[in-house]
């Protein structure tokens, strides 16, 4: 049996990198007063239709949706923000009127063509700052993203930002854009022609050279922004400059989800080719109200873990955890005594591996060295006959015997050697 297309086993030698990312992110997010939240993998299909938008590729083509045995329309979550917003409302997290800083890490699901760094089951690390209109909140989440990347020893990236205004401002821009592009409809790529009806703003993302040339001379979203949108965006830029965070204004940058407004941004790796976005996010001030909650402004981002792994694996030395102690025993009496020692080692945070293969002593010692253990505990026929336990230091081959009744002495010696 093979894994389904677009899914992947994460093996122990890879999981150490996942743990490294999670531990690094958790530490930095805790320092920034963000708190972890975990939402269900399955949600009501209507949640994503209402939040992401019916005109998006995610809703129209990519969602894993089904009807369960209770005739409910269920979807495997394709992204994290909508679930966080739903949880914020369901659990009345708005009642104390404080800013909620939340983070999550988990699997998402989209039916897309599998590609390097993106599977149909993929994983995202995301944060949401809920409850502030202040442009400093936009900058805070961008700063945290760069902080995490920098601590993962990744610096070769660019930050692109844009203001996509309010929904009303975007509607004005869409009208101008559609009117302009209609005169070039025969010159647009097929994908863009289809988007002209369903989601015109996504044409700005087109990788087709001819389409980009047409867009270059087209109307600008910036020209449709009103004073409040421009002021918010300028303050974001000012704060980024204050923090000496380098960025580029990309007037063609839009996000693929309908709920964004004002600030949109992406962090792109310089060496990943066309699929180079490793972090994307922005402000979504109307989403929570749209889903039936109070009018609470928010901003956040998500990082694709698989794509991030492509970058950081070569930049960070992360080793699999090796047992400090390798335990070799032989016979029932020896095994019972060993079972008394293992809890004492664990109590003192000493990792250990109990050999279960019943090989001869030399083979087990070789296996202990290969596994990277520092110390061997040996309890075989000789030790049973002499009422002792042998401690062997693998680095120099030195060994000593400790009386089998002196368990505490044995543990202390192991601690000093391990």
Residues 341-375 have pLDDT tens digits of 888 888 888 888 888 887 777 888 888 888 888 88
**What pLDDT, on a 0 to 100 scale, did the predictor assign at position 33?**
96
Q: Where are the alpha helices (DSSP H) in 32-79?
A: 45-51, 57
**pLDDT of 34:** 98
Residue 99 binned pLDDT confidence (cut-offs 50, 70, 90): very high
From CA 370, how far away is CA 155, in angstroms rounded? 35
Structure confidence at residue 213 (pLDDT): 85
Mean pLDDT of 278-302: 94
Distance CA 253, CA 91 (A): 34
Average confidence (pLDDT) over 259-267: 90
Task: Residue 270: count other Cβ atoms within 10 Å of its Cβ.
Answer: 10
Indicate the DSSP class of residue 56: S
**What local confidence, expressed as pLDDT, does residue 55 receive?**
64
Q: What mean pLDDT do residues 247-251 have?
A: 92
pLDDT of residue 322: 82
Q: Which helix (H) or strand (E) holds 63?
A: none
The pLDDT assigned to 402 comes to 84
Q: What stretch(es) of the chain map to CATH 3.40.50.800?
A: 325-417
Q: Which residues of 319-353 are buried (b: 16+ CB within 10 A; e: fewer)?
A: eeeebbbbbbbbeeebeebbeebeeebeeeebebb
On whether the CB atoms of residues 51 and 128 are closer than 8 A, the answer is: no
Look at strands 157-163 and 248-249 and give their pairing.
parallel
Predicted pLDDT of residue 183? 86
Residue predicted with more confidence, 205 or 325? 325
Q: Which range among 39-48, 129-138, 196-205, 391-400 shows the weakest confidence by mean pLDDT?
A: 196-205
- DSSP-based three-state secondary structure for 306: helix
Please say whether the dihedral angle defined by the alpha carbons of residues 151, 152, 153 and 159, taken in this order, is positive or negative.
Answer: negative
- Whether pLDDT at 50 is above 70: yes
Specify the pLDDT at position 418: 64
The pLDDT tens digits of the residues spanning 154-209 come to 999 999 999 998 888 888 988 888 888 888 888 888 878 888 877 788 888 777 88
Query: Is 276 or 133 the better-scoring residue by pLDDT?
Result: 133
pLDDT of residue 36: 97
The average pLDDT across 265-289 equals 88
Q: What is the pTM of this model?
A: 0.87
Is pLDDT above 80 for 74? yes
For domain 325-417, which CATH number applies: 3.40.50.800, 3.40.50.2300, 3.40.50.1100, 3.40.50.1820?
Answer: 3.40.50.800
Residue 328: C-alpha distances to residues 30, 156, 250, 358 (Å): 41, 48, 63, 9
Please give the sequence-ordered ranges of beta strands (E in DSSP) within 236-357, or none if there are none. Answer: 248-249, 261-269, 277-283, 298-304, 325-329, 352-354
* Least confident residue range of 37-51, 213-227, 229-243: 213-227
**Helix or strand or coil: residue 319?**
coil
Q: Which pLDDT score is estimated for 386? A: 86
Question: Tokens 């995301």, residue?
Answer: 126
Domain 12-166+226-312 is found in CATH 1.10.3720.10? no
Mean pLDDT, to the nearest integer, of 227-251?
95
Give span(s): CATH 3.30.930.10, the chain.
12-166+226-312
């Amino acid at each position: 049996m093979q894994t389904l297309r677009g899914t992947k086993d994460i093996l122990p030698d890879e999981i150490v990198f996942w743990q490294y990312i999670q531990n690094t992110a958790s530490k930095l997010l805790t320092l920034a007063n963000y708190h972890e939240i975990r939402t269900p993998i399955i949600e009501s299909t209507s949640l994503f239709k209402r939040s992401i938008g019916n005109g998006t590729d995610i809703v129209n083509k990519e969602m894993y949706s089904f009807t369960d045995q209770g005739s409910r329309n269920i979807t495997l979550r394709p992204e994290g923000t909508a679930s966080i917003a739903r949880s914020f409302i369901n659990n009345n997290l708005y009642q104390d009127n404080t800013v909620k800083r939340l983070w999550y890490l988990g699997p998402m699901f989209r039916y897309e063509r599998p590609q390097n760094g993106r599977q149909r089951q993929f994983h995202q690390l995301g944060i949401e700052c809920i409850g502030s209109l202040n442009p400093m909140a936009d900058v805070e989440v961008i700063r945290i993203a760069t902080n995490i990347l920098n601590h993962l020893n990744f610096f070769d990236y660019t930050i692109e930002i844009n203001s996509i205004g309010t929904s009303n401002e975007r509607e004005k821009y869409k009208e101008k854009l559609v009117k302009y592009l209609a005169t070039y409809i025969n010159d647009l790529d097929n994908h863009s022609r289809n988007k002209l009806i369903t989601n015109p703003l996504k044409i700005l993302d087109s990788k087709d050279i001819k389409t980009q040339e047409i867009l270059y001379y087209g109307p600008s979203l910036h020209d449709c922004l009103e004073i409040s949108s421009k002021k918010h965006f300028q303050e974001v830029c000012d704060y980024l400059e204050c923090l000496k965070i380098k960025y580029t204004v990309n007037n063609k940058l839009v996000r693929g989800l309908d709920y964004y407004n004002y600030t949109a941004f992406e962090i792109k790796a310089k060496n990943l080719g066309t699929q180079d976005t490793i972090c994307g996010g922005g402000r979504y001030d109307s989403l929570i109200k749209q889903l039936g909650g109070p009018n609470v402004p928010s901003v956040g981002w998500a990082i694709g873990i698989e794509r991030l792994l492509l970058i950081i694996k070569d930049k960070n030395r992360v080793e699999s955890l090796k047992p400090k102690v390798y335990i070799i025993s032989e016979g029932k009496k020896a095994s019972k005594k060993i079972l008394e020692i293992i809890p004492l080692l664990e109590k003192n945070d000493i990792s250990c591996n109990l050999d279960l293969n019943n090989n001869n002593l030399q083979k087990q010692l070789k296996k202990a060295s290969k596994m990277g253990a520092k110390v061997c505990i040996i309890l075989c026929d000789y030790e049973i006959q002499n009422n002792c336990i042998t401690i062997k230091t693998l680095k120099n081959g030195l060994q000593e015997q400790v009386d089998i009744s002196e368990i505490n002495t044995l543990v202390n010696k192991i601690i000093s050697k391990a």
